[in-house]
Amino acid sequence: VTLRFAEDVIDALIDGGGYDQSLGARPMKRVIGRQIESLLATGLLRGDFYPEDEVLLHASDGRIAFQVV
């Protein structure tokens, strides 16, 4: 799967806990795993998209959304 990111995804990841003043961006890995990787894996297993698809990630109501383009 090819992933493309809209600019608002970065803000959604930061707002979702990807940045902590004392830890910096270290929590970002967990946020990416929870909000992108696990949803992407679920979508692949459900057949929402296939390995050759190009998927656009964008923020919708503060959450990451996937759209096949």
Query: What's the average pLDDT block by block, 10 residues per block, for the chain (69 residues)?
Result: 93 90 88 93 92 93 90
Task: Say what the pTM is.
Answer: 0.81
Instruction: With beta carbons less than 8 A apart as the criterion, state whether 38 and 44 touch.
Output: no
pLDDT of 66: 93
Give the residues across from 59 on adjacent strands.
Answer: 64
Q: Say what the pLDDT of residue 62 is.
A: 80
Give me the pLDDT at residue 57, please: 96
